[in-house]
Amino acid sequence: MSDSTAGAVLVCDRLTKRYGDRLAVDGLSFAIRPGERYGLLGPNGAGKTTTISMVCGVLRPDDGTVLVDGQPAAEARGTIGYVPQDVAVFPDLTARENLAFFGRLLGLRGTALRRRTDEVLETVELADRATDFVVKFSGGLQRRLNIAIGLLAQPRLLVLDEPTVGLDPQARNGILEAIERLAAEGVATLYTTHHIDEAARLCTRLGIVDHGRLIAEGSPAELVAGGGSGQRLRVAVGHHSDALVDGCRALPAVVDVVAVDGHLDLTVDEAPAATAGVLALAERLGVPVTDLELRRPDLETVFLGLTGRALRD
Amino acid sequence: MVRASPPAQLVALVGNDVRHRFRDRPTLVAAALAPIVLALIASFSLSRLTRSFEGTYAIVDLDGGVVGEQLAAGIEGDARLADAIDLERIDTEAEAREAVDDGRIAAALVIPAGFSGTILQGQPAAITVVESPRHAPAAVVAGAIAEGAMASIRSDQLAVSTALNVEGGDLGGLGVGDLAVRVAEVAAPIAVVDVDLLDAGGAGPARFYGPSMAIVALLVVVQLGARSLLEERRTGVVAREVAAGVRPSVLLGAKALFAGGLGLASVLLTLATVALASGASWGSPVGVLVLSTATVAAFTAVATLITAAVRVEESASSIGLVVGLLLALVGGNFVPLTQAPGFLRSLSLATPNGWALRGFGQLGTGTPLLEAVGPSLLALLAFTVVAGLPAWALSRRLVTP
Ligand SMILES: Nc1ncnc2c1ncn2[C@@H]1O[C@H](COP(=O)(O)OP(=O)(O)O)[C@@H](O)[C@H]1O
Ligand SMILES: [Mg+2]
């Protein structure tokens, strides 16, 4: 264990998981310090859930190790707050009954169980629905209960796997606020998402994953500053042209080009030169340019630059 | 936070399953109502069938001779028959006809005039049955009594002619009265009816259909446990339980306890309902409990094996149903084995329910308890182990990280 991982709540070291021929997680390493809010940001299929499952001891790594507070994942079961991506509750029980059941598995009983149940219901703002059957809950309420169950153990590390997936903006905001309240209490969190705005809003440090590999890591500001080699030029075009893409790529001021539906996203060193070059090229090839946007680097441009893919739903 | 001890987790898991299932109407119906309904159907339809054998039967002795009198007395003196039916004498065939037609008696046996003489001359003779189509079962019983009586007479004839042959085969020196004495001497007790027809009075069929229906109920109920494991695996609850520190063996143990408990409850409920409704009894309550438990264990193992091997809830249900029906059919749950051909009886012992039914059939017959249920218990234990070990291994893989 290196110095940077000493005292960490979670250390993942070269985690690897294969499904048949597919490498779902490919030598992933990262560490989370106490109180840190760490985000794994990556598109669908990047290997986030597989990583979370290994961290929480519900999936055995093919290779690599997970240490939770210095303990192997298998022995640390029950000490991590695990909030799975899919809502894993009993729909025909009430919210309180669900919490009581999972609380008992953790060794809570009697008044301690009752008190902790009330606390977590309060935290996720579900107290007034405690005795309602979960089957009647909206998606947002179900996700709150899903989080509440993860909080029962008063974990030092809370692991949330895409807790807002499939929610409308309002419900999503409710979840994010609940997580912010928790973060304010100093609980270390591991948060996975494919929403850049969520990652930027919640996380103090981010790991960007793609194809099971960690391709960049740092605070959002560090990533934006260091990740992009320049600005982003978005060129909306009338129709797709391979010649235009190749031509742009050959321009000296252009670092990279990605064709995304209806437009080109260019990573550029020198915005004026690149803009002039692209426009001239488009004119020569007869490709109409319908819009032109120069963006300062942000997480999305960083991600695009790193993966060549847009990160949207 | 310390996690709960494995026993505490087991209690929490089983408790949750119970609570969960009580919220689930179809399961409740399957677990509680179905056995009761099956039991009541079995008790009432079968006891009506049984009662239709009962009634008053008449003997019309038109012969008045020694053999006829002997025969009538033999029928009247048969203890097993006396348990099931009443007998009376009627003087003429016409009166008997009238009584049968207006339903006062179920059927009548007519010993024709000259019966004794015909028999004593070594000639074939027959008893006729006065019956009514309205009371078909009684006709069957009367026919069986008549046939049994004639078979007995034929063996008497054989014995008499043997006796005469020994003395030189000469009838000359013997009067009819002497012959009658000889007949009386050699007459074996008249074996009248097929025992199965009237077995143990009214409760006979219920004694069979009780366990049989109990097993059918068990077949339905016992799959629920294993299927709920698949369901909870799909919804992610199992992963959550594992993440909370529940060991796979505790998880599976809880499911087995739950499925077995539910199965045992439905078996005992069925048997109790049948017993209350029909008066059937299987003797020792300990025997019933032990045999029921062994039956439930074997079926829990078989159902879990199927479910864990199939792994897809819907397919597991349909395959489970087909296997269940097959077992029920081959094991003799629908047709009593005592009336089945020999090879079917052997085949039934390839099924756990076949053994269970055999055990229940022996219970309460006066056979010592261990002798009655011992072989069935051993066989059921073998089924439990043979199906249970791979079932455990396969389902462990379902819940192990
Ligand atoms: N149980 C599984 N069997 C086979 N492939 C799987 C399984 N779970 C995940 N995968 C594959 O592994 C890769 C990573 O999946 P996952 O960890 O769920 O990604 P994410 O959570 O980032 O969307 C994907 O390609 C997915 O198809
Ligand atoms: Mg995922």
B160 part of a folded domain: yes
Q: B150 and B190 in contact (C-beta within 8 Å)?
A: no
Query: Where in the sequence is the domain holding B111, given as residue range(s)?
Result: 55-198
Confidence category of residue B195, pLDDT binned at 50, 70, 90: very low
Sheet with strand A289-295: strands edge to edge: A254-260, A263-268, A231-237, A289-295
Report the largest interatomic distance among the alpha carbons of chain A, rounded to a whole angstrom: 78
Long-range contacts of A7-11 (CB under 8 A, 24+ apart): A7/A33, A7/A34, A8/A32, A8/A33, A8/A34, A8/A67, A9/A33, A9/A34, A9/A36, A9/A68, A9/A69, A9/A156, A9/A157, A9/A188, A10/A55, A10/A66, A10/A67, A10/A68, A10/A157, A10/A188, A10/A190, A11/A65, A11/A66, A11/A67
Identify the residues whose C-beta falls under 6 Å from ligand 1: A 19, 22, 24, 42, 44-50
| Mean pLDDT, range A213-239, rounded to an integer | 82
Q: What is the mean pLDDT of residues A72-76?
A: 88
Chain A residue numbers with beta carbons less than 8 Å from the beta carbon of B239 are 53, 56, 58, 84, 88
Phi and psi angles of residue B337, each rounded to the nearest 5 degrees, phi first: -70, -25
Q: Which amino acid is at B284?
A: S
**In this predicted model, which residue has the larger pLDDT, A9 or B201?**
A9
Identify whether residues B130 and B88 lie together within a single domain.
yes
Torsion of the alpha carbons at A183, A189, A193 and A197, rounded to the nearest 10: 30
Give the range among A2-11, A126-135, A211-220, B22-31 with minimum mean pLDDT.
B22-31
Q: Residue B220: enclosing H or E segment and its boundaries? A: helix B204-221
**Chain B partners within 8 Å of A58 (Cβ):** 239, 242-243, 401
Paired tokens of A194: 């494919």
- Of B150, B180, B198, the position where a domain reaches its end is B198
* pLDDT tens-place string over residues B301-324: 998 888 888 888 888 888 888 888
Mean pLDDT computed over every residue of chain A:
88
Task: Please name which of B101, B119, B97, B121 lies closest in space to residue B109, comparing C-alpha atoms.
Answer: B97
Cα–ligand 1 centroid distance for B240 (angstroms)? 18
Whether residues B109 and B30 share a domain: the answer is no
Domain of residue B74, CATH code: 3.40.50
Same domain, B146 and B39: no
Q: A50 CA to middle of ligand 1, Å?
A: 6
Atom number of ligand 1 nearest to Cα A17: 12
Give the Cα separation of B360 and B213 in Å (integer).
Answer: 12
Whether residues B244 and A104 touch (CB distance < 8 A) is answered with: no
Q: Is residue B198 pLDDT above 50, yes or no?
A: no
What is the number of the ligand 1 atom nearest to the C-alpha of A40? 22
Q: What is the DSSP letter of B62?
A: -
Supply B162's token pair.
Answer: 């043997």
Do β-strands A10-19 and A22-32 pair in parallel, antiparallel, or remain unpaired?
Answer: antiparallel
Last-in-domain residue among B146, B179, B198: B198
Q: What is the pLDDT of residue B167?
A: 45
- Residue B25 has a pLDDT of 74
Task: Judge whether residue B53 has pLDDT over 80.
Answer: no
Helix (H/G/I), strand (E/B), else coil: B365: coil
Residues 6+ apart with CB under 8 A from A203: A37, A38, A39, A191, A220
Task: Please tell me whether residues B165 and B266 are part of one structural domain.
Answer: no
Q: With a cut of 50, say whether residue B32 has pLDDT above it.
A: yes
Q: Does residue B148 register a pLDDT over 50?
A: yes
Kindly determine whether residue B245 and residue A86, on different chains, have CB atoms separated by under 8 Å: no
Ligand in nearest proximity to the CA of A40: 1
Whether residue B1 is contained in a domain is answered as no
Q: Examine residue B41 and state whether it is found in any structural domain, yes or no.
A: yes
Q: A214 and A28 in contact (C-beta within 8 Å)?
A: yes
Q: Is the pLDDT of residue B199 over 60?
A: no
Residue B25 burial by Cβ neighbours in a 10 Å radius (0-12, 13-18, 19+) = exposed
Residue A247 Cα distances to A201, A265, A279, B103, angstroms: 37, 14, 11, 108
Put simply, the answer to whether A58 touches B401 (Cβ < 8 Å) is: yes
**pLDDT reading at B194 higher than 60:** no
pTM: 0.73
Predicted local confidence at residue B201, as pLDDT? 36
> Is B119 domain-assigned?
yes
Task: Look at B244 and B27; give whichever has higher pLDDT.
Answer: B244
- Which atom of ligand 1 is the closest one to the Cα of A194? 22
pLDDT of amino acid A98: 96
Q: Regarding beta strands A213-218 and A231-237, do their DSSP bridges make them parallel or antiparallel, or are they unpaired? A: unpaired
pLDDT at B266 over 60: yes
Q: In DSSP terms, which residues pair with A254 in a beta bridge? A: A268
d(CA B320, CA A165): 36
| pLDDT number for residue B10 | 94
Domains located in chain A, CATH noted:
3-219 (3.40.50.300), 229-296 (3.30.70.100)
Distance B271 CA to ligand 2 centre (A): 50
Tell me what pLDDT residue B30 has.
65
Average pLDDT over residues B12-26: 84
Residue B55 pLDDT: 76
Residues B205 and B181 in one domain: no
Structural domain contains residue B77: yes
**Whether A78 and B1 lie within 8 Å, measured CB to CB:** yes
Closest ligand to residue A211's CA:
1
pLDDT for residue B73 is more than 50: yes
Please determine, for residue B192, whether its predicted confidence score (pLDDT) is greater than 90.
Answer: no
Give the whole-angstrom CA distance, residue B270 versus residue B263: 11
- Cβ–Cβ under 8 Å, residues A47 and A24: yes
Closest CA to A125 of A136, A108, A137: A137
Residues B238 and B355 in one domain: yes
Between A46 and B46, the more confident residue is A46
Q: What is the mean pLDDT of residues A218-238?
A: 80
| B98 and B240 both lie in a single domain | no
pLDDT of A266-281, one tens digit each?
A: 888 788 888 999 999 9
Q: Whose CA is nearest to atom 24 of ligand 1?
A: A45
Question: Considering every ligand atom, which ligand is closest to the CA of A210?
Answer: 1
Residue at a domain's end among B170, B198, B226: B198
Cβ contact, residue pair A57, B9, below 8 Å: no
Distance between CA atoms of B323 and B303, rounded to whole angstroms?
9
- Note whether B237 contacts A90, CB cutoff 8 Å: yes
Interface A–B counts its CB contacts (< 8 A) at 89
**Chain B residue with Cα closest to A99:** B16
Decide if B43 contacts B273 (C-beta within 8 A).
yes
* Share of residues in chain A with pLDDT > 70 (%): 95
Number of residues written out for chain A: 313
Which tens digit of pLDDT belongs to each residue from A126-174? 999 999 999 999 988 999 999 999 999 889 899 999 999 888 888 888 8
Mean pLDDT of B195-212: 57
Average pLDDT of the residues in B93-102 = 89
Q: What spacing in Å lies between the alpha carbon of A58 and ligand 2's midpoint?
A: 14
CA–CA dist B129, A103 (Å, integer): 76
- Give me A1's structure tokens: 């264990």
Q: Cβ distance B255 to B227 under 8 Å?
A: no
In a domain, B244, yes or no: yes
For residues A81-104, average pLDDT: 94
Note the pLDDT tens digit of each residue in B282-297: 888 899 999 999 999 9
> pLDDT digits over B326-335, tens only?
888 888 877 6
Q: What percent of chain A has pLDDT over 90?
A: 56
Please say whether the dihedral angle defined by the alpha carbons of residues B340, B341, B344 and B346, taken in this order, is positive or negative.
positive
> In a mutagenesis test of the B interface, which of A50, A79, A104, A190 is the best target, namely the one with the most B β-carbons within 10 Å?
A104
Counting every residue, how long is chain B? 401
Residues of chain B with Cβ-Cβ distance to A74 below 8 Å are: 401
Cα separation, B272 vs B270, whole angstroms: 5
| pLDDT of B178 higher than 60 | no
Q: Which residue, B58, B70, B55, is CA-closest to B94?
A: B58
Alpha helices in B5-91 (DSSP H): 6-22, 25-28, 34-51, 66-76, 79-84
Torsion sign across C-alpha atoms B112, B116, B121, B126: positive
Task: Find the mean pLDDT for residues B112-130.
Answer: 83
Distance CA B131, CA B109 (A): 9
Q: Provide the pLDDT for residue B190.
A: 38
Whether residue B254 sits in one domain with residue B218? yes
pLDDT beyond 80 at A107: yes
Smallest Cα–Cα separation from B390: which of B296, B290, B310, B293? Answer: B310
Predicted-complex ipTM score: 0.83
Sheet with B107-111, strands from edge to edge, namely B85-89, B55-61, B107-111, B128-130
Q: Give CA–CA dist B219/B323, Å, rounded.
A: 9
* Averaged pLDDT score across all residues of chain B: 78
Chain A residues touching chain B at CB-CB below 8 Å? 53, 56-60, 74, 77-80, 82, 84, 86-90, 92-93, 97, 101-102, 104-108, 149, 153-155
Number of domains in chain B: 2
Asked if B287 and B253 sit in the same domain, the reply is yes
Specify the range with the lowest mean pLDDT, choosing from A218-222, B276-280, B378-382: B276-280
**B65 shares its domain with B182:** yes
Of ligand 1's atoms, which has the minimum distance to the CA of residue A162?
21
Residues B219 and B193 both lie in one domain: no
Whether residues B210 and B121 share a domain: the answer is: no
Return the residue whose CA atom lies nearest to atom 25 of ligand 1.
Answer: A45
Residues of B in contact with A101 (CB under 8 A): 12, 16
